[in-house]
Amino acid sequence: MMFDFFWNLGSFIVALSILVAVHEYGHFWVARKAGVKVLRFSIGFGKPLFTWYDKMGTEYAISVIPLGGYVRMLDSRVDDVDENSIDKTLDSKSVYARMAVAAAGPAANFLFAIVALAIMYSVGVQNVKPVVGTVSESSIAQRAGILPGDALKRIGGEEVNSWQEVNFAVMSGLGEQRLEIKVVDANGQIAIRTLDVSNWKLDQKDVAPLASIGINPYRPDITTELAVIARDSAAERAQLQAQDVIVSFNQQGVTNWAHFVGLVQQAANQPSVLSVLRNGQEITLNVTPDGKELSDGQVIGYLGVVPKQKSWPEGYIETRQYGVFDSIVLGVQKTYALTALSFDMIGNLITGQVSVQNISGPVGIAVGAGDSVSYGLVAFLSFLALISVNLGVFNLLPLPMLDGGHLMYYLIELIRKKPVSEKTQELGYKLGAMMLLALTCFALFNDVSRL
């Protein structure tokens, strides 16, 4: 557990630092091109840990709190500026130049996502064929006639080749009346299934979009053979080993993995007897499952083991690798789709189609970063692209503390032919800061409740 914490924390800091550096460099680069003097470029907030200067006098800093960053520009409204430097201040530039500086941060995030995805596609993406495993009873999918063994080919107007693409396409159907899915059934016949999603909402905590409509992906059967023993777990203390095959738990024969999990969950903190088959011989071990408290107060037992899964059938896993030009085109298309989806999700949060319980914060991002690093370069690039797009979209929201808020003020200035008063801007910044703080606290609460 301690290793996982530091692994997730380190991955989070690396991922966030990359994305913040990209975002702030967008502001920095355009400001320099517009003739604005940049005083400081900081990754992180608070006291600087390391600083250095370039030949133009800009201070670069790595600061102690790695939760963002900023670019501080010369501005006569807050800085003492001599006559020789007045033309280098941000406020002396045209409205269009200031708008370009404000928009450059989000634009850099979108460009980074394109590059990250292009690299990912050129390296090669391994996908699991989207074949339905089971369909939940009385679900939207079951009423539409989706069957186990159906291979999903198109959702709405989007061709899908992986479960990630299926998830994004399904989420795009939020707020629609119907969603058409093209499938190839187990007999090789093409069919169109129409889902009635008129009353569909993502209003359940920790329930994936696919599961909420009743589709569960096909996965090879899980065996009762152990593959991984977690460190500092009840299983390790009981001296369980990888390749042990579960035979019985408290004298009850184990028929399958789900049965075994159920038995363990009922034995939280209770001394128990576990029989396993090891090297062809049955041995008995004493084990006390650890207790884990759920959000509803229920305590369940767990051992800290991962079972072995049977191999995937031939043809279910494919690796797609693209040339440079095709990778760039795909990067642009995917970034556009992610951006549109992010704006859709914001709209769905406002209308109530998506529950606010699905909002995630730094802890959720940290766990995602740690998981993606564990899966390798391609997964980490995909994660970085997704978070980069979300960061770009979030910063375009018309909140005074964000880039979108600055753009809103500049747009009002263009219409009114004069700047918004400093008093009004200051009030807006205070309200925006309060809203961002409340949103951050709410996201953190959601994150902690998931642990």
Quick: pLDDT tens for 196-228.
Answer: 888 877 666 556 778 888 888 998 989 999 999
Whether the pLDDT of residue 266 is over 50: the answer is yes
Write phi, then psi, for 173 (nearest 5 degrees).
-85, -5
More confident residue, 15 or 181: 181
Q: What is the pLDDT of residue 341?
A: 80
Q: pLDDT tens, 122-176?
A: 988 888 888 999 999 989 999 999 999 999 999 888 888 888 888 888 888 777 8
Q: pLDDT tens, 70-100?
A: 999 998 888 888 888 888 999 899 999 999 9
Question: Domains in the chain, please, with CATH?
Answer: 222-309 (2.30.42.10)
Q: What is the pLDDT of residue 390?
A: 87
More confident residue, 8 or 257: 257
Whole-model pTM: value is 0.75
Q: What is the pLDDT of residue 394?
A: 87
More confident residue, 147 or 448: 147
Whether the pLDDT of residue 450 is over 50: the answer is no
More confident residue, 376 or 288: 288
Has 314 been annotated as catalytic? no
Most confident of 98-107, 192-201, 214-223, 310-319: 98-107
Per-residue pLDDT band at 265 (split at 50, 70, 90): very high
Q: What is the pLDDT of residue 430?
A: 77
Q: What is the mean pLDDT of the chain?
A: 84
Whether the pLDDT of residue 361 is over 50: the answer is no
Whether the pLDDT of residue 114 is over 70: the answer is yes
The catalytic residue among 24, 158, 176, 236 is 24
Q: pLDDT tens, 397-412?
A: 888 888 998 899 999 9
Q: What is the pLDDT of residue 3?
A: 52
More confident residue, 297 or 275: 275
Q: What is the pLDDT of residue 263?
A: 93
